[in-house]
Amino acid sequence: MKRTPAGETGPSSTVGGRLRRPTVSTERSLAECLADRYLFHSGEATSSPGISRTIVIVGAGASRAACGLPLGPALADLVASKVVGRKGGVSRLILEQELQRLETVYRLRADEFETRVLALSRFAPDRVANVLQQHCRVRHYPSLAYELLAHLLKHGFVDAIVNYNFDELLDEAIDEELGPGGSARILTEGDCARELTRSSRTHDRTRPLYIKPHGTASAPDTLRFTREDYFSLPSDIIRLLGVLIEGRPLDDIHFRRTTAATPVCVLAIGHALQSPELLRLFRSVHSGSKLFSVTSDPLREDDWPDAMRRIASGRWTKVSSAFARRGHRVESGLDRFLRSTWRESVRCTARNSRTRPWLSARGIERHEVVARLFAITRFGILKRREGDPKLRDYLHDRAIVELALAIAKSKGFVDLRELERGRPGRMFRLHEDHAHHRRESLVDAIESLGMDRRDAAANAFWHQRAPKDESGDFGRLTLTDEQGRAMCHDLAKSCYRLLSKNRRAKMRSGGRRVLNEALWAMFRGDEVEVGAESPDRLWSRFRSPTPLTTLAQMRRFTQELLRRRWDLLLCVAESGEWLLEDWAARAIRTTRGPSKRGAVALVVADRKKQDEIEARFGPISIGMLPWQLHNRHMTIAVSRQGERWVPTAALFYERRYRSATVYPIRLSLRSDCESVLNDFVVYFEKARRHAEGRSEVVRLSKREMHGTRQRILAEIASQ
C-alpha cells in the first residue's frame, strides 16, 4: 500500500464520489500553499496568486492527540454518567425515549455527541453545561501540534484558525506565541465589530484571526454544544466564517458582496467536517480552493456538498491515533505530520530565498523544547488543574525554561522590566497565583541562572560569561560565539538543577540535549520578534506610517532601502551586526559600487562588531551611546540635492529595555523621514558628548537643529 507523506496509510480509493487516496505530493502541496502565503505577507508576489487565504479548522481529534481529552462519544458518556441515574435525577428510560424522538422526528443520529447532549440538556441544561466545563477547562498541556499552529499563525503562514473545541489548549499556545492583542479573538456576538476594527493598518495583512464558534470552557455562557445551538450561532460569526471560506475581504462581512469569491486553502485537523454551519458554508466555496483533512478516523463525506467533496479530493491524510513513546518522549501522529509539513514549508521558503536572500523563516526550536519537556506522558490523567501541586510544578518549571531561553535570545544581557512583560514574567505570575507560598522571585531566578546585576540599583543583568573591563565592570552587551556556547551550557546545567523531579527525568532522557540545541539556536538567531499591531503612539507621531508585520517583511523593505540610490546611510542599532548579514552586505556593496560612493554612519550601544564592519565596508563613522540612552532604532537613506540633505526612505522602531517584541514601520513621506533624521542627528550628537565625558542632554531649537544637521551630515559624508 502506498504511504502518505505523514508516514501513515491513507484511505483506499473508491468510486461514487468518495475521496481518493492521497498522493505522495499531498503534504508538499499543503506546504507550498503555506510557504506562498508567507511569501505574500512579506510583500512579494507568489507562485500561487490565486490562493487568497489559508485557514485551519481544529476539531476534537487535535485535543485528544495533545493530552488525551475525550472525543465526542466518550465526552457524551461522561455527561450522561453525571446526569442520568439516581444522582443525576434523569431516568435512563426517559432519555432513551427522547433520543428515539429526535431520531424519528428530526432525522438525527442517536449515537452522535450533539444529539445525546441535546437530549440530556432538555432535562438538566445547567448540569450538562457544568459537566462540560469541568472536563474541558484545561489549558496547561503543551503539544507540538498546537505549538506549531500558533507559530504558523504568528508568522504569516496561516491567516485564521477556527477552533471548534471547548478546551483552551490552543488558546494557551496562541497567548504565549502572539502575546496580548496579537490576534483578533472572536468568541461572542459583537467581537467581530470590536476586534476587526482593531486590525493592523497595513494593506498587506490584518491581525491573524482566532475564532471559537462553539465557545470556550472558561466562559460557560458561550458554550454551544447542540445542533440547535449550531443553527443559532451569532449572525456576525456566521458571516465572518462565510467571508473567510469564500475568500472575500473582511470588509465584506456585512454582505456588501463587493468582490467575487476567490480560492482559499483550508486545513482541517482532527475534525470530522460534519458541523451543519460548515456544510452550508462549503456549498459556495470557490472551485479553485483546496481542502486538506488530517484525521485518525475515516471521514463520512456522504453528507458533504459537491463543491466541498471536489476541493478535498485526494487530500485526506490518515494519521495514527497511537502515541509513539521513546523514553519520556511522547508524540502523536498529528505532531509528526505537522513537523513534517513545517519542514516542507521551510524547504519551499529556502528555494525562494535563493533569489530573495532576505527571506527566511524563524525556527521552531523553542516550541520543540517546550513540547519535549512539558507534554503530557500519561494521557487522560489531567492533574494540572487549580490547586494541584502538578500545576504549580509545571508553572515553575516553565518559568525557569522560558527565562533561560530569553537570556540566550538576548545574547546574555536582559532587562528585568522586559522579562516581567514577556513569557517568563507571565509564567512567574501564574505560578504565584497558584502557589500557597512564594518560593522565589523573578530576580532570584535570574540570579540562579548565572546572571549578575549591572549595579545594585539597576534592572539590567549580564551573564557571568560576559567580558569585563579593567575596573571589573561589564563592558559589552553581547558575547562571542565561544562565550555563547559556554553560556548555553551553563544555562542548561542550571535549569537541570532548578527543575522539578519529573522534568529532570525528561532532561536525562534527551531533554537536556534538546534544551542545549534550543538555547544555542536562540543565541544565534534574531534578537527581536515583530509584533502584529503597531502602538497608537507611532500613528500619532507620523502622518503616513506603514506597519511591517513580519520579520521577512521588515528585511525585504530594508533590502529595498539599501538598494536605493543614496549618498548617506544612517543607522541606529544595538551593534550594527545586521549589516554583516549576506543579504544586507550584498545590497550595500551593490549600491556603493567599486567607487565606494556613499558614506555609512552608525550609532550603537556596543562596538563589538566595529572592526568587522570597517573591514567589510571601509572607514565608517561610529558613535557609541549606552543602551539606557538608546531606545530608537532606525535606518535612513539620504540623498544630496545641491547643498541640502534629503531623506528619501526610513525604517523605524522603538525598542525600550531591550524589548523582545518590536513594531517596525516604513516611512516614505518627506515630513516623516525628516522627523526620523532629526532623531538620528540628536543621537549622533549625544554619542559625541558621551565620548567627550559631557552631559548627553541635547536641546536644539528648530533653527539650531537645521544647522547641526547640515554640519553632522557634511562631516559624515567627508569621511
Q: How confident is the model at residue 253 (pLDDT cuts 50, 70, 90)?
A: low
- Mean pLDDT for 176-200 is 80
- Per-residue exposure over 407-437, b if at least 16 CB sit within 10 Å of its own CB, e if not: bbbbbbbbbbebbebbbbbbbbebbbebeee
- pLDDT, position 470: 56
Give the DSSP letter string of 589-634.
Answer: HHHHTTTT-SEEEEEES--TTHHHHHHHH-S-EEEE--GGG--EEE
**CA angle, 53 as apex, 52 and 57 as ends, to 5°?**
155
- pLDDT, position 252: 66
Share of the chain above pLDDT 70, in %: 87
- pLDDT, position 593: 47
User: Residue 477 is which amino acid?
Assistant: L
| Helix spans in 265-388 (H) | 276-281, 306-312, 333-353, 365-374
- pLDDT, position 144: 94
Total residues found in the chain within this entry = 719
d(CA 68, CA 71): 9
pLDDT exceeds cutoff 90 at 145: yes
Q: How confident is the model at residue 592 (pLDDT cuts 50, 70, 90)?
A: low
Record the cell numbers describing residue 604, joined without a space: 550603537
pLDDT exceeds cutoff 90 at 54: yes
Q: How confident is the model at residue 705 (pLDDT cuts 50, 70, 90)?
A: confident
d(CA 352, CA 345): 11
Each residue's pLDDT tens digit, 545-570: 988 888 888 888 998 899 888 999 99
Contact 563, 592 (CB under 8 A): no
Q: Please give the residue that has the higher pLDDT: either 88 or 475.
A: 88
Task: Identify the CATH number of the domain defined by range 26-69+138-359.
Answer: 3.40.50.1220
Closest Cα partner for 36 from 316, 352, 248, 364? 352
Each residue's pLDDT tens digit, 476-497: 666 788 999 999 999 999 999 9
d(CA 164, CA 185): 13
- Mean pLDDT for 640-664 is 89
d(CA 363, CA 361): 6
- pLDDT, position 364: 93
- Mean pLDDT for 21-27 is 58
- Mean pLDDT for 82-100 is 81
- pLDDT, position 126: 81
- pLDDT, position 473: 54
- pLDDT, position 258: 60
pLDDT exceeds cutoff 70 at 156: yes
Q: How confident is the model at residue 62 (pLDDT cuts 50, 70, 90)?
A: very high
Query: Parallel, antiparallel, or unpaired for β 290-295 and 644-654?
Result: unpaired
Cell 542545549 belongs to 516
Contact 478, 608 (CB under 8 A): yes
Burial of 591 from C-beta contacts in 10 A (0-12 / 13-18 / 19+): middle
Q: Alpha-carbon dihedral of residues 429, 434, 437, 438, nearest 10 degrees?
A: -20
**CA angle, 39 as apex, 660 and 269 as ends, to 5°?**
85
**Beta carbons within 8 Å of 389's beta carbon, 6+ residues apart:** none
Share of the chain above pLDDT 90, in %: 32
- pLDDT, position 182: 82
Task: Identify the CATH number of the domain defined by range 530-718.
Answer: 3.30.870.10
pLDDT exceeds cutoff 70 at 701: yes
pLDDT exceeds cutoff 70 at 655: yes
d(CA 613, CA 651): 20
| 243 sits in which H/E element | helix 235-246
d(CA 684, CA 615): 22
> How high does pLDDT run on average in the chain?
83
